[in-house]
Structure 1
Amino acid sequence: MLLSIRNEFRTIPFRVITGFSNVRSIVFDYYRVFIEKSFGRPIVIFGAASFIGVAFGMNLDFFTGMITCILSSVLLICLSILYPEDTIFRCARAPEKRLDKTYLVQVSFVAIVIICYGFLYISIGRYRSDCFYLRRLQEGDYDQQYFGYITDAPVFPNLDGYDSYVFETDMGVKISFASSLEGLKCGEYTEIKGQLLRHKSASNPGCFDAKSYYASKGVYLKLSASDSDIRIIRERYKSPGLFTEISNPFDSVRMWIRNAWGDVFSEEEAAVISAMILGDKSELSNELKNRFRLSNLSHLIAVSGLHVGCFLGFISSFSRISSKRKLRLIFALVTLIAFGFLTGWTASVTRAVLMSSYGIVCSIIGKRADSITGLFGSSFLMMIIHPFYLSNIGFRLSFFATLSILLVSRRMADQLSAVFPLGISSSLATMTSAWIGMLPILMTLHSKQSLMLLVICLIGTLLSQWICLLTIPLTLLMIPLSLIIPGHEAVRYLFWPIRGLVQLLLSVTEIGSFENIRALRLQSVHPILLAGIVCLMISLIIGKSFLKKILICISVINMLTGSVIQTYAFVHRPIATVIFMDVGQGDGTLIVTESKSVLIDGGEKEMAERVLLPVMNYYGVVKTDITVMSHLHSDHGGGLLALSELGRVGRIGVSAWGEGKDYEELVKGYDIERDCYILGYNDRIQIEDEVEMLVLHPDEPTCEGGNEDSLVILLRVGETGVLFMGDAGFDTEERIMSNSEIYSIITNNTDIIKVGHHGSKYSSSGEFLNSLSPTIAVISVGTNFYGHPTQEAIDRLTEAKADVFRTDLDGAIIIDIYSNKSVIQTMLGEWRNK
């Protein structure tokens, strides 16, 4: 026995060497297959290079981007040069498909040129905009005149508000502006007087990121101007080009279709149909748009490959009336291009039309179409046409979803067919594979996900397919039917099934919008854990192979590592998170604990939809447990009353209620008498074991809810105290300091202060601040005509050695409070530990 053990140990080195040699051989085989599959399809390499170049330009500064481009070039050259000559000939399936080194180097060189082109195109445009902005800023921060041609106007103008336009100055810099003027169109030479500004990133969690959105269009600057400051110089009109001239007749066709749908659908149903089939969201209410977005169904109201596929399927069936195959294919190609013009050639539509056109052209010339080549070829062509196409969120989601479907869905459907019927397994495989492809992008978009949302996405997609398949042919039938049958009553009956499907889809979005609030935010899951889950899902559909073993090993390691990190983060989560929201010239603070939520003030009325709801949805707050209005001014209470109408807040605690001018102006148009209660001195609210609120002022209201009647509240979170001053000024501060009990409480417990009255010179006295000695001071302020915050107030805060944060400059200030420290993050990028 000992002898056999000794012999076994003697063979270990040999087995290790043999095993290493086998692994090396397997890895080399995969490397060979990768080279053959990729370089054998040069269009795939060029399409991938397009993506890489645009990604470098969008996300890296010029110096870092150049270094990265050089490293990428070296990697490509190495991949082509290090490929052994004998392996090239040994592994080629046919002599005509052999890949020699000269060919590999040539393809690599073209790919390098494409990467550099994409990077330089975007970087130079951003650099030019930065120089233009700094030069204008040196001339003075005031309204100036700008001249240029309108280069981008909305295909579907909003009927009830401002539209966004882009014009290119005579110096070649693109600038956006908003206007409600009618008749603005591409090619108009425009004179605009306004203030030049940079687009800002999202200043609140879960809110719209204007900087990223416009950067994806190559626009980094905006003009703040009124309609009266915009003048069109007709004499210098310039034709916007053949493409736009061809597009103009389709506007009339689009309008006719919209009007026809308006005759047979309700207003809401017609708006949904127009968005789904024409990409026209101008008549969709903000509420409906939010419902689709929160349900993860935004792709249904943005024409994409799904809708192009439905349209192409109908056209293919219709064209079968002709017995000539090539004639049918040419007809399909022409109608497909017309559909692109009809829907405004959005990025996702352009990708789908180009890819479908590639397949049709291949059929016409008698060659087999390769879907992967068509997908990457479309991205390559789009970069040549307009590189910023590739930075569009809709295009990226559409591209990676399609790529994942092509690579994964068939094998996944085969695996699922053993459990589900064919139709269900195919739909599940398509949806899951699309989700895997979109996952990296969804993580950057603060997307949420749950099993219920996945089911809703599946149901919504199936309903959308049926709506498109039924609406397109019935809309075409309306033309002869309207001539034969006068009026639209008889025709309306044909659309009843579609109306039922649309209503069902709207019900699904309503359920999904509420489910989203409670769903898991993907950004809260560690990327390593998500990567492990995705690797495991892919490994399950791959047959037995070395790659399957590698993926399983990677998934197990990632899931274990990610689980440990996720568990550590959960155990060491903050006691409470305080979000001082950017609500413009007003106050609004959301406090989130493990199981409770508190909302103190909410800015003006319009901030409810623009800020409060997105932030509450982001943090999973369906309805606040405690709501407080510091006093009766609209810049503090307007948003709360709007939320109350929506049922998103409970009863509101106030310092005064029922009388006075401020009260009458605030509650005008609302009926919430029964939803308010009075808070005053010495009221205590226990939120969690380590979290409580103590009301320090007022004892008795004296100003009918004015500034000096502001609720002064001390929030205690563990050993940290946050003092909310509302709009209180010197008078309230003196009353607080004159009360020895209150004075003792705040001097021993105040670490963070929400500065009173937006940094007015009549608040935050030096004596008051020095007695508190806060380490952090937050000023909630926006653009205003009062001079807030005043330099006097800022100087007093600085003298008290407080770190000053401002919502107008820093965006929302988010403070995670732990048992022994506070971590401060601002939405515009700064982190601090205290």
Structure 2
Amino acid sequence: MRKLAAFGFSFAVGVFAVQYLLPGRYVMAAGLGALALGISASFLRGFRRTRVMLILIGVGIGLVYSWGYAKVIQEPYLRQAETLRRNLTMEVCSWPERSTFGAKVTVRIGPFGKAVYYGDEKLLSLSPGDAVTGDVYLTDASSIRGNELTTFTSRGVWLLAYSRGEAVVEPGRGSARYLSLHLKKRFQDQIDLLFTGDSRSMMRALLTGDRGDMPEHLSSDLEESGLYHVTAVSGMHCTILLSLVTALTGKHRRRLKAAVGMAVLVLYMLMVGCTPSVVRSVVMNGCLLSAPLFRRDGDPPTSLATALLVILLQNPFAAASISLQLSFSAAAGILWLTPKLWPKGEHGGVIRFIAGSFAVTAGALVFTIPLSAYYFDFFVVVAPLSNLLCLEAVSGQFLFGLMAVLVSYICLPLGQALSFISAGLGWYVLDAARLLSAIPYHALYFCSGYLKYWLVYAYAAFGICAVSGAPRRRYIFAAAGCVLTLILTVHMTEEQMTGGKMDLFVLDVGQGQSVLMVSRGRTALVDCGSGNTFRDAGGTAADYLNTIGERKLDYLVLSHYDTDHANGVERLLARVDVGTMLVPEIESEYGEALRELAQEHGVQVEGITEERRYALGEAELTVYPPVGSGSSNEEGLTALCSCGEFDLLATGDMDSATERKLIESVPLPDVEVLLAGHHGSRHSTSTELLKAVMPEAAVISAGENSYGHPSKEALRRLVLEDVEVFRTDLQGTIHISVN
């Protein structure tokens, strides 16, 4: 076993144990214990002594280093969060971005700490290297309202800074330190000059790793077809850059190739941002380039361990980065499985190309599928086909796009000519992604437990074959068994989720609302939004529709235009065909934008000014016009879904006064289920409404929020009226089946 690989991977085990397993009070003791055992291993005899020592010492150092890093680097910054307001001078270390309520930018506070600085849109004028001085309110970036987060700490961000008043900007201080970021901006400006539309967004992502302005339909098609990974700068990009360097320096000038190649790769890494995937690729390529200079053979496992060691030494909290876990899992799978599947040379040409593409894809997926299932609740079935059809085209798109940008600085017409080639390849890739994502069951979503059990079965089946040293034919039997059980699992999932005359799903979208209604192949969705930026309401609704085998939504009802009820519409329209969108006839800038978006997707838009009824399989959907006035909450629609003797009522965010108007204006029936108003606000779900509709159960759609939803007052009223309460924040998605 390679010594550096043994130490590097063992160090990583210690770091990951701190992040996921060991309580903080036991870390130091466990680290010292592992070091003591490692030193004691020096008394062992035989070839295993060095191996055991390296593993135990690596684990011990990883534990102790993580503990020390948190104490020395992180905790001094967290103590600053105890001061509610203070005056700080911060150095801008990224380009600013728009946020939900203004803008945000990453800033440096002191030598080892970063913060995300939130303010108004004036922040958009800042540049890397500017100094900003002002009053800020600081909070711990690792914990928001009691929820542990790794999004920020995995990037070395310890604090969130919220602007409190005017800030003084000193332009340009330290700008030389951020030369690579300014170079990236120049590079992106040149891309904008050469490309337009989706080609521009794709080239920004491919060349600079910037996916910030990628439209929803584009990112959705790439995700659903299994091609989104190409927009993360990684091994493919670095390999192409090294190929260009080799072409310029010559194959046999190893020292020159290594020097120029590493300089180019490091500059590119700094320019696109030191994400785990690009750091891994640069370090691994650096090891492989330098190995011949020291008369050593390049060893991929050792270079992979070295890359992981470098990243975790810089920030042990990076172990919790999803990007790092996916990148290293894919690389490990390719190193381990791909050589076992790659043909030995008995075939050539097309057969060898197809087999090679499948082998690489299988290697990349073998360890990343469980991670994708855990973090994103889905995996893409057509990924092998997508990679076979598109990866070579993506490589060409990157190569010609890079050449177009570089050449355009010298000769713009020649750069534009090269950009046409790149754009043509890009159109092919995007069309292929769109077609692949339209294939039924192109991806599987873990909306039901059956698929999770199937995934465990599939890995167990192949794992047993691998451990037992089974002959090749048993792998074929295992694969056939997995395919057959997958078909059965998908069928069982659809039957379980749509077995009633009508099935309703109050989707868990956090602090928002989205209710899916299904009856005999007809579908409707009431609201589609979330107030939590980390929740994708449109994606969640599309996942459930795809899981039950539906690619079309007949009706989309928006009770009103608040973001926590409507900000998932763009994502939904990018993934699902919608027949009709029902909206209130009120003036709203955001509502007008949603109407235009719907029309772009060919969706019929109906403004509701009177009671409307819509057939929904064996059910009926009734939509009532607004009965209140004032805020958007009071001018919203009311939806009643009925199937036989069953009724569900959704009142949006209206308050108790508007609820009284609703009772007076509409002959509401007794309902079996009431969707509690305004996420359980104390101003909604009034006693008058409860007595009027007499629900047997109430469902509260809520998530992480600062409003106190669901309120004690609303819960008390429900209990006093003997209403059974279900909550998405505690129980997840609520499934109601009507038989």
Query: Which range, TM-score by smaller chain?
Result: 0.7 to 0.9
Alignment of 1:153 with 2:94, yes or no, is yes
In structure 1, stretches of 5+ residues that fail to align are 1-39, 89-98, 204-208, 483-487, 821-834
1:628 matched residue in structure 2 = 557
Specify whether residues 811 and 148 from structure 1 end up closer, same or farther in structure 2 by C-alpha distance, changes over 3 A only.
farther
Q: Does the Cα contact within 8 Å between 2:137 and 2:163 map onto a contact in 1?
A: yes
1:750 matched residue in structure 2 = 672
Specify whether residues 148 and 559 from structure 1 end up closer, same or farther in structure 2 by C-alpha distance, changes over 3 A only.
farther
Alignment of 1:379 with 2:304, yes or no, is no
- Taking the aligned partners of 2:394 and 2:470, their CA distance within structure 1 comes to 40
Alignment of 1:489 with 2:489, yes or no, is no
1:676 to 606, 621, 627: 606
Q: Does the Cα contact within 8 Å between 2:226 and 2:382 map onto a contact in 1?
A: no
CA deviations over 1:162-214 (Å, ceiling 9, x no partner): 664344667987542235422353583643434747678999xxxxx994422
Specify whether residues 151 and 48 from structure 1 end up closer, same or farther in structure 2 by C-alpha distance, changes over 3 A only.
farther
Q: 1:379 deviation in Å? A: 0.8
Alignment of 1:768 with 2:690, yes or no, is yes
Alignment of 1:277 with 2:207, yes or no, is yes
- Taking the aligned partners of 1:816 and 1:160, their CA distance within structure 2 comes to 31
2:152 counterpart SS class: helix
Alignment of 1:193 with 2:136, yes or no, is yes
- Taking the aligned partners of 2:377 and 2:685, their CA distance within structure 1 comes to 41
- Taking the aligned partners of 1:381 and 1:522, their CA distance within structure 2 comes to 35
2:308 counterpart SS class: helix
- Taking the aligned partners of 1:782 and 1:81, their CA distance within structure 2 comes to 52
Q: Does the Cα contact within 8 Å between 1:197 and 1:224 map onto a contact in 2?
A: no
Question: What letter corresponds to residue 796 of structure 1 in structure 2?
Answer: R
Alignment of 1:520 with 2:444, yes or no, is yes
TM-score (norm 1): 0.70
Q: 1:434 deviation in Å? A: 0.8
Question: What letter corresponds to residue 191 of structure 1 in structure 2?
Answer: G
Question: What letter corresponds to residue 626 of structure 1 in structure 2?
Answer: Y
Specify whether residues 562 and 265 from structure 1 end up closer, same or farther in structure 2 by C-alpha distance, changes over 3 A only.
closer
Specify whether residues 759 and 706 from structure 1 end up closer, same or farther in structure 2 by C-alpha distance, changes over 3 A only.
same
Q: 1:463 deviation in Å? A: 1.2
TM-score (norm 2): 0.77
- Taking the aligned partners of 1:325 and 1:343, their CA distance within structure 2 comes to 26
Q: 1:814 deviation in Å? A: 2.1
**Residue correspondence of structure 1 range 819-830 to structure 2 within 5 A:** none
CA deviations over 1:40-72 (Å, ceiling 9, x no partner): 312222222233233233334625874995799
1:312 counterpart SS class: helix
Specify whether residues 603 and 573 from structure 1 end up closer, same or farther in structure 2 by C-alpha distance, changes over 3 A only.
closer
- Taking the aligned partners of 2:168 and 2:446, their CA distance within structure 1 comes to 46
Specify whether residues 645 and 427 from structure 1 end up closer, same or farther in structure 2 by C-alpha distance, changes over 3 A only.
closer
1:468 matched residue in structure 2 = 398
1:165 to 105, 109, 114: 105
1:814 matched residue in structure 2 = 733
1:35 matched residue in structure 2 = none
Alignment of 1:358 with 2:287, yes or no, is yes
Specify whether residues 130 and 636 from structure 1 end up closer, same or farther in structure 2 by C-alpha distance, changes over 3 A only.
closer
Q: 1:416 deviation in Å? A: 9.7
Specify whether residues 512 and 76 from structure 1 end up closer, same or farther in structure 2 by C-alpha distance, changes over 3 A only.
farther
Q: Does the Cα contact within 8 Å between 1:602 and 1:640 map onto a contact in 2?
A: yes
Q: 1:350 deviation in Å? A: 1.2
Specify whether residues 562 and 62 from structure 1 end up closer, same or farther in structure 2 by C-alpha distance, changes over 3 A only.
farther
- Taking the aligned partners of 1:433 and 1:337, their CA distance within structure 2 comes to 27
- Taking the aligned partners of 1:79 and 1:535, their CA distance within structure 2 comes to 37
**Residue correspondence of structure 1 range 528-567 to structure 2 within 5 A:** 529-534=454-459, 545=469
- Taking the aligned partners of 1:817 and 1:570, their CA distance within structure 2 comes to 14
CA deviations over 1:714-748 (Å, ceiling 9, x no partner): 54689975332345565776688789x967x51xx
Specify whether residues 102 and 254 from structure 1 end up closer, same or farther in structure 2 by C-alpha distance, changes over 3 A only.
closer
1:92 matched residue in structure 2 = none
- Taking the aligned partners of 1:389 and 1:100, their CA distance within structure 2 comes to 31
Q: Does the Cα contact within 8 Å between 1:168 and 1:175 map onto a contact in 2?
A: yes
- Taking the aligned partners of 1:461 and 1:64, their CA distance within structure 2 comes to 47
1:650 counterpart SS class: strand
2:651 matched residue in structure 1 = 725
1:600 counterpart SS class: strand
Identify which range, 281-290 or 48-57, moves more after superposition: 281-290
- Taking the aligned partners of 1:793 and 1:644, their CA distance within structure 2 comes to 31
1:114 to 62, 78, 88: 62
2:542 to 606, 611, 617: 617
2:578 counterpart SS class: coil
Specify whether residues 436 and 735 from structure 1 end up closer, same or farther in structure 2 by C-alpha distance, changes over 3 A only.
same
1:498 matched residue in structure 2 = 422
Question: What letter corresponds to residue 613 of structure 1 in structure 2?
Answer: G
Specify whether residues 221 and 106 from structure 1 end up closer, same or farther in structure 2 by C-alpha distance, changes over 3 A only.
closer
- Taking the aligned partners of 1:199 and 1:645, their CA distance within structure 2 comes to 34
Q: 1:347 deviation in Å? A: 1.9
Q: CA RMSD in A?
A: 5.4
When Rg is computed on C-alpha atoms for both structures, the one with the higher figure is 1
Q: Which has a greater percent of strand?
A: 2
Alignment of 1:579 with 2:503, yes or no, is no
Alignment of 1:183 with 2:123, yes or no, is no
Percent identical among aligned pairs is 17
- Taking the aligned partners of 1:49 and 1:130, their CA distance within structure 2 comes to 29
Identify which range, 723-732 or 49-58, moves more after superposition: 723-732
Identify which range, 307-316 or 332-341, moves more after superposition: 332-341
**Residue correspondence of structure 1 range 557-706 to structure 2 within 5 A:** 573=497, 576-579=503-506, 588-591=514-517, 595-602=521-528, 611-619=536-544, 620=546, 622-630=551-559, 648-652=577-581, 670=595, 675-676=605-606, 685-688=615-618, 692-693=619-620, 695=622
Q: 1:702 deviation in Å? A: 9.2
Question: What letter corresponds to residue 466 of structure 1 in structure 2?
Answer: G
1:58 matched residue in structure 2 = 19
Specify whether residues 173 and 795 from structure 1 end up closer, same or farther in structure 2 by C-alpha distance, changes over 3 A only.
farther
Question: What letter corresponds to residue 116 of structure 2 in structure 1?
Answer: S
Q: 1:489 deviation in Å? A: 3.0
State the aligned residue count: 721
Q: 1:311 deviation in Å? A: 1.0
- Taking the aligned partners of 2:19 and 2:202, their CA distance within structure 1 comes to 33
